[in-house]
Amino acid sequence: MNVNEELKEIAKFVADYATCLMGSGVHTSRVVRNSKRIGESLGVLIRITTLHKSLILTVCNAHNDDAYTEVVDIPELPISFAYNAELSSLSWKAYDRHLPLDVLREEYRQIRAKPKMSPHVVLLLVGLANASFCRLFGGDWNAVGIVFIATLAGFFVRQQMQRRGINHFIVFTTSAFVASMCASATLLFHTTAEIAIATSVLFLIPGVPLINGVIDIVEGYTLTGSSRLMHAFLLIICVAVGLSLPLLLFKNSLL
Amino acid sequence: MIFTDILTNGLLAAIAGVGFGAISFPPKRAFRHIAILAATGYAIRFSLMNYLSWDIALASFCAALSIGVLSLWFGKLSHCPMTVLYIPALLPMIPGMYAYRTVFALVMFMQNLHTAEVAEIHLQTLLSNAIVTVSTVFLLAVGATIPIFVFPRRAYSMTRRKGW
């Protein structure tokens, strides 16, 4: 029974680790590789099946037939490149130094507990990013200013709604609507209104699932890859719907 | 003049890359690498399109490929997985104007369903802009990912450090 208890502890930890990675936007092959590496450092074999919403994982003892299987749900975490980098790094550290499970668990807890960048700083950076995007597309300075404000408004709405746990699709449609509506203020001035409205919603493009989906499919994880792509397409359609309302209202001045 | 054009475009792309990257919470040490990658990639695409008059899809592919190759090196420097560096760097190259014109043409097409000639023009705009948008985004993703497939062992051990 002792052996099984140990396998169970390992399985619980790896399940937590792998679902955290999957949920925070890491492509599938990396999740599988990292988890197997941790298993190897603890002297067990790990086999994983990944789906979009859940994950099946078996931990086997390499020397006898003991095995422990766990099916876990993948939480919907905000995308975090920091988890991607630090948790991958943790798996290598475990591999190179043969860390015992409790040390591993403590380090994992510390990485998860690290404070995130302040939402206000992110808001400002996103505003600046979209404004410079507008300039790249050839917008004049009036348009750049209005896009900056429109992005602040749109991203603020997104942050507030996401904090309250509202459905993603509603969040994306509403923030696209708010941002493009604010950007439509450019129609009042003599400026590059078309470019301003076009760029005001670009901060909503789900770039991470789009690229991860392509990587997953090319690497043979077709199921998770296509579910990621499908999710990204749905979000893009939501952005298009939010954007098309102001377009319908102001189409005569835009033609 | 050419030089300052390339430089300002690169600078703006760097701001855009860092800002869009911030949405996905990268580790702090990655920011300068993201900025350099975004600037280089955009500058390459800008030069190819404006001075060699390449089309947007092919120029994007080459720019993405250079970002991917550079991130093989930067990833090792900053101990970050390649995707952490190149996904934010690719975002400033998303063909936003084409995407916008696709949506606008769709709206206009639906509004003019009963006047066949007008609807036809909008349908044409819709189709050509959609094709440009989809193929550019696809080539961006593929271009940056190719270096991972060519150098898998290097790409998969970016976060390993010597002498912990």
Q: Flag if B26 and A85 touch (Cβ within 8 Å).
A: yes
Q: What is the b/e burial string over B40-77, where b = at least 16 CB atoms within 10 angstroms of the residue's CB?
A: bbbbbbbbbbeeeebebbbbbbbbbbbbbbbbbebbbe
Residues of A in contact with B93 (CB under 8 A): none
Q: Flag if B15 and A240 touch (Cβ within 8 Å).
A: no
Question: Cβ of B152 under 8 Å from any chain A Cβ?
Answer: no
Instruction: Return the closest-CA partner of residue B20 out of A177, A79, A127, A211.
Output: A127
Residue type, A13: F
Structure confidence at residue A193 (pLDDT): 85
Q: Is 80 exceeded by the pLDDT of residue A6?
A: yes
Q: pLDDT-derived band of residue A1, with 50, 70 and 90 as boundaries? A: very low
Residue ranges of domains in chain B: 2-94+143-155
Nearest CA in chain B to A208: B87
Q: Is 90 exceeded by the pLDDT of residue B2?
A: no
Contacts of B12 (CB under 8 A, 6+ apart): A132, A133, A135, A136, B42, B92
B13-42 residues touching A, CB cutoff 8 A: 13, 15-28, 30, 42
| Per-residue pLDDT reduced to its tens digit, B23-81 | 999 998 999 999 999 999 999 999 999 999 999 999 999 999 999 999 999 998 888 99
| Per-residue pLDDT reduced to its tens digit, B89-115 | 999 998 988 998 999 999 999 988 899
> For the residues A48-55, what does the mean pLDDT come to?
92
User: What is the enclosing helix (H) or strand (E) of A31?
Assistant: helix A28-41
Residues of A in contact with B25 (CB under 8 A): 78-82, 116-117
Question: Cβ of B145 under 8 Å from any chain A Cβ?
Answer: yes
| Per-residue pLDDT reduced to its tens digit, A97-137 | 888 888 889 999 999 998 888 899 999 999 999 999 899 88
How high does pLDDT run on average in chain A? 90
% of chain A exceeding 70 in pLDDT: 98
SS3 B160: coil
User: What is the enclosing helix (H) or strand (E) of A72?
Assistant: strand A67-73
Distance from A5 to chain B by nearest Cα, in Å?
Answer: 30
> For the residues A85-108, what does the mean pLDDT come to?
90
Residues of B in contact with A255 (CB under 8 A): 108
Question: Cβ of A243 under 8 Å from any chain B Cβ?
Answer: yes
Structure confidence at residue B15 (pLDDT): 93
Structure confidence at residue A66 (pLDDT): 85
Structure confidence at residue A235 (pLDDT): 94
Give the CA angle between residues B47, B53, B55 to the nearest 5°: 100
Rounded Cα distance between A112 and A20, Å, is 9
Do A83 and A20 form a contact (C-beta atoms < 8 A)?
A: yes
